[in-house]
Structure 1
Amino acid sequence: MNDVRHCPGVLVVVTCCLLAWTALPQPAMASEDAANAKAETAGERAHFAREFCEVSSERVDAYKQRLRKVLHEASDFDRHWQVGWRRAENDNRQMAALRDRDPADFAARTKVNCERIKWMVQNSLRPAARK
């Protein structure tokens, strides 16, 4: 009776534990995915900032270089940045149309969004807190 082969409950528990363990995200992969997502979001915000917040291309490039050092876990920083940059194109077209259609609403939205982006940029360049 002490033989594990004759104890199906133990085998079920061991099998469930192994399946649960393999389903857990691996820390390296999770941090890489998070860094990739942050690079995409940063590219998207940078494109908006350049178009509507009077941020020069030079400042965007400098931000990109500094962020690349913070997001060193990103698998292909430039590719993910470009994905975000292209993703912003549709939103930027909508904002440009709003500028023509309703300048007051455009000005209000741009003011809020530019302030938010400025705050987010400052926070994104800080190294992640260690747990």
Structure 2
Amino acid sequence: MLTLSNALRDQIVAHARADHPDEACGVIAGPAGSDRPERFIPMLNAARSPTFYEFDSGDLLRLYKEMDARDEEPVVIYHSHTATEAYPSRTDVSYANEPNAHYVLVSTAESGNGEGPVSFRSFRIVAGEITEEEVRFVP
């Protein structure tokens, strides 16, 4: 189960809406080994695509160096789907290389970049196996 603050959920949804019609992506870092998402880190979708996301390799390298220096790890890796459901695509699964991370997907297919409903789901992806997990929001 992923436990996420309302504030972090709102930041992910706001980023997904702001980047629509392109996919948004980012990381929520937390203390290494804690499974506590704490620090919101929106990233640039280097692909600038409505159907695909890709972290810029230089940005990703800087992020991992920064997390190492702070004794953090990626607790949540998130991105949005702009025209499809919030479920990992084959490409998403092929890029999922953090076995301890929660993979959050937000679908803005219904609302676009405006106010309205979004689908917010979390998955564990390990060795190509997708398992949906419950998300609990806390103040």
Q: Do both share a fold (TM > 0.5)?
A: no
Q: TM-score, normalised by structure 2?
A: 0.27
Higher strand share: 2
Higher helix share: 1
Q: TM-score, normalised by structure 1?
A: 0.28
